[in-house]
Structure 1
């Protein structure tokens, strides 16, 4: 598509709120997923460390 101005680009033919809102929600969900994965990975490492110390006792 070819827009006449930046304002027309951001408006997306009247669907700008839906389009940019969808992009925003997708980015938010991806960031949350990455954060949760990192959190779970840290929990697993801590649990493995505890298991290792229990085995050595």
Structure 2
């Protein structure tokens, strides 16, 4: 597309407000999606770490890990 000036480019033939508003809204929503996903991932990882620490603290030192057979070599 050819525009005579930068102001004409921004005006987009009278439709500039809709064009730039849609670009701005899309950028803001994409940024919120990315930041929200990272926040939820960090929260989930922290919760998984806390749960692993709690399970490790509850397990006696001489008991086998879950899913492993006890070592009965005497």
TM-score range, shorter chain: over 0.9
Equivalent residues in 2 for 1:18-57, closer than 5 Å:
18-57=18-57
Q: CA RMSD in A?
A: 0.6
The number of residues matched between the two structures is 57
Instruction: Tell which has more relative contact order, 1 or 2 (C-alpha 8 A, sep 6+).
Output: 1
User: CA offset at residue 35 of structure 1?
Assistant: 1.0
Structure 1 unaligned blocks of 5 or more: none
Where is the helix percentage greater, Structure 1 or Structure 2? 1
Structure 1 residue 2 corresponds to structure 2 residue 2? yes
Shift >4 Å, 4+ stretches: none
Structure 2 distance, partners of 1:18, 1:53, is 52
What's the secondary structure of 1:3's corresponding residue?
Answer: coil
Q: Which has the larger radius of gyration?
A: 2
Structure 2 distance, partners of 1:6, 1:56, is 64
